Structure 1
Amino acid sequence: MAESSAVAAAAAAGGTAAPTMLEELLEITAQSLVRTEVAEHYEVIRELGRGKYGHVMLVTHRQRGTPMALKLLPKASTKLHTFLYEYCVALSLATHPAIIGMFGIAIESSQYYGFLYEPALHKDLISIIKPRDGIPEPAAKQCAKQLVSALEFIHSRGLVYRDIKPENVLLFDPECRRIKLTDFGLTRPKGTKLKLVAGVIPYTAPELSNTADAQGVPIDSSLDAWAFGVLLFCLLTGYFPWEQSLPDDPFFEDFMQWQETGLEEDLPRHWKRLTAEAALMLRSLLALDPAKRCPVSGVLRYVDCPWRLEDGNSQETAVKP
C-alpha cells in the first residue's frame, strides 16, 4: 500500500526531511480515511481514559475479536488536519518498542475522528505515583531507560515530543518493565517557532515560560530534556518540583538559586530526599540555559547509582502531581 510505503519513509526520515515526509503521509491518509460508525465494526468494552481533546475506549473487533484502544476526537472541536497530523506522527514512530503500536486504521464517523492502537490495560504512570513517595526506584529506572530510548528515537527523526508527563506513559505491567509513550498531538519538527499560548505548568521550560518574542522560540530537544527532568523528579518524590517555572514561584526561586551556586546548602528542602548523584542528574537536565541542558541520554550515566535516600521520607510538603 502507498500508505505503508509513506510510513516507512517518514519513519526513516530525519532532520529537515521529516516535515516533508509527514505532509505526504497526511495527504495519503486523508484520501484513504475509512468512513464508518464505530458500532458497525467494533464493540465498545469500557473507557480507558479521557482528556481535554478526546477520549479513549477499549474496543474489540466484531469479526476478529482483537482488543484495541480507540482514540476518538470530536469533529465539532477538532480540525481534520489536526487529527491527521497526530495520527500520522504516531504512525511514523510506532516501530519503536517504547512507543505505542498502531493498527494503521484511521476512521471518520458522523461525530468523531478516530484511530486504533494497542491497548495498555495497566493504565498510565500517573496511576501508580504515590503522593510523598513516588514509585519504587527500580521502576523509576526502568521508566527512565525506556523513555530515553523513545525520546532519542523521536529526536533522531527531527521531531520534538513536547508532552512528557505521567499521563502519556502507558503501562503494560505494574513494575514498569514495559512502558510506551503515547499522544503525539503536540509533537513538532525541530526548529518550529512556538510561543506560550496557555498557562505555565511544571513541565514548561523557562525559555517558553518567559516568551517575550512575538515570533516565538525555535524548539529543540532541550524542551524534552527539561520535561523529562520534571517527570523523573515526580517519580522519585511524588511531588512536582514547583507549580510554575517562573521566578515568583517560591519553589522555583529556590531551585534557581541552587542552579546558580551548586552548593549543597542551597539544595531546596524538598530535594533532600535525592542522592547527590540523582540531584546532579536532574540539575543537568534542568539547566536554566537550554544550551547547557544535557540531552535525555545523560540519564543513562546515572542508572547504576542510587537515586533516593532511605531516610528522605520526612521532607517538607511540595507540590503534588
Structure 2
Amino acid sequence: MDKDYRSIHLLGEGAFGQVYLMRHVPTQRLVCVKALKECHENSIPWKEVKIMRKLCHPCIVRYQDSFSLANIVFIVMQYADKGDLSSKLDAARRSRPRMHFPESQIWQWFSQLCLALQYMHSRKLIHRDIKPPNLFLLGPEERLVLGDVGVAKKLDTTKAFAHTGIGTPFYMAPEIFGNRGHNTKADVWSLGVLLYELAYLTHAFGGASIDEIARNVLSGCFRPVAPEDTQRYSSAVGDLIMELLNVDPTRRPSVTEMLRGKNFLARRAQELSKQILIPASAPKIDITR
C-alpha cells in the first residue's frame, strides 16, 4: 500500500474488489479507497479513474487520487461520513411503527441526485446503475452525493444509444431489460424507481426472480400503493413517479426538463444550486484513451 495511506477497516466487498476506509497520513483526513483488479490500461478501473478525475460537482463523489500496485488499481475518493441511502431505507423499513421520510427530505435528496445527473447527462454520460447503495450521504446536512461511476457510459452524441445491459434488476429500465438501445432516459426511469422507494419504502417492481421482475418492468406494472401511503405526501410525488415510470422512454422527461420551470422540484433544485455552488462548466470527458 502507498505509504501516504493507512488502512482502518474494510467498508465493503464485491465481485470486482474491495472498498476500504483509510486515513491519508499527511493530512490525517479519512478517505474511501476502492481496490480493483487491473487487467490492462483500458480496463474498467482505469476508465472509472478517467471519468472521475474530470467530474467536478458537489453532488458527485469527489475523486482525490489513484495509483497501481501489484495489478491492483486503488482509487482514492471522498469519504461519505453518513453512510449510504440503502442504510437509511433499511432503518426506516425496520422501524416500528414504520417511520417514513418527511416529504421535504425526499425532495432534498431527489433534487441533489437530479442535479448530479443533469451534470453527467450534459457531458453525454449515462450513469446506468442508480440505486441506494450508490447514493452516499455527507456531512451534518446529509447531502446526497452520487457514486460508483465505473459503469457509466459515454455517448457520442446527445441522441446516441448505448447497447450494453448494465444495472441492477430492481432499478433497470425496460429498454435495458428488452436489450434495446438506451440513453439518458434509462437513468430517468431509475429516478422514478428510487422516488417510489423513498416514498413507500418498498421496491416499485417486485418479483421472486429476475424473469418476473423483468416482466413487471417491461409491462410497467409497479406495485399498487395503499391509500394511506398516497395521502401521506402531496400529489406531486405520485404524479412525478407516473411520469418517470413510463415504459416509453421518449415520453419520459429529461432531467433538465424536470428541473426547468416553476414546479416545486425546479425551485428546490435552484435553491440547492445556490447553496452548494454548482459549477457552470467542466472539461469534456474522453474515456476512450
- Using the size of structure 1 for normalisation, the TM-score is 0.68
Conserved 8 A contact 1:133-1:236: no
- Name the structure 2 match of 1:273: 229
Conserved 8 A contact 2:206-2:213: yes
- Name the structure 1 match of 2:62: 101
- Name the structure 2 match of 1:193: 162
Identify which of 45, 66, 71 aligns with 2:29: 66
Query: What's the offset of the Cα at 1:51?
Result: 2.9
- Name the structure 1 match of 2:252: 293
Separation in 1 of the partners of 2:221 and 2:20? Answer: 45
Structure 2 stretches lacking a partner, 5+ long: 268-289
Conserved 8 A contact 1:171-1:180: yes
Conserved 8 A contact 2:169-2:213: no
Structure 1 stretches lacking a partner, 5+ long: 1-36, 259-266, 306-321
Identify which of 57, 66, 79 aligns with 2:20: 57
Separation in 2 of the partners of 1:254 and 1:241? Answer: 13
Query: What's the offset of the Cα at 1:46?
Result: 1.9
Q: Which one-letter code corresponds to 1:285 in the other structure? A: L
Separation in 2 of the partners of 1:86 and 1:225? Answer: 22
1:292-321 per-position Cα deviation (integer Å, ceiling 9, x unaligned): 01123455534499xxxxxxxxxxxxxxxx
Q: 1:99 to 1:155 in 2, by over 3 A?
A: same
- Name the structure 2 match of 1:236: 199
Conserved 8 A contact 2:101-2:199: yes
In the TM superposition, 1:32-47 aligns within 5 A as 37-38=1-2, 40-47=3-10
Root-mean-square deviation (CA, aligned residues, Å) is 3.1
Separation in 1 of the partners of 2:200 and 2:141? Answer: 17
Question: Structure with the greater relative contact order (CA < 8 A, sep ≥ 6): 1 or 2?
Answer: 2
Q: Which one-letter code corresponds to 1:143 in the other structure? A: W
- Name the structure 2 match of 1:182: 147
Query: What's the offset of the Cα at 1:100?
Result: 1.1
- Of the two, which has the highest radius of gyration? 1
- Using the size of structure 2 for normalisation, the TM-score is 0.75
Q: 1:171 to 1:255 in 2, by over 3 A?
A: same
Runs of 4+ in 1 over 4 A off after TM superposition: 244-251, 297-300
Separation in 1 of the partners of 2:12 and 2:206? Answer: 24
Query: What's the offset of the Cα at 1:254?
Result: 11
Conserved 8 A contact 1:285-1:295: no
Q: More deviation in 295-304 or 84-93?
A: 295-304
1:205-261 per-position Cα deviation (integer Å, ceiling 9, x unaligned): 1112122xxxx51x3210110001101111111100113699955993897469xxx
1:28-61 per-position Cα deviation (integer Å, ceiling 9, x unaligned): xxxxxxxxx33x3211112233333222212122
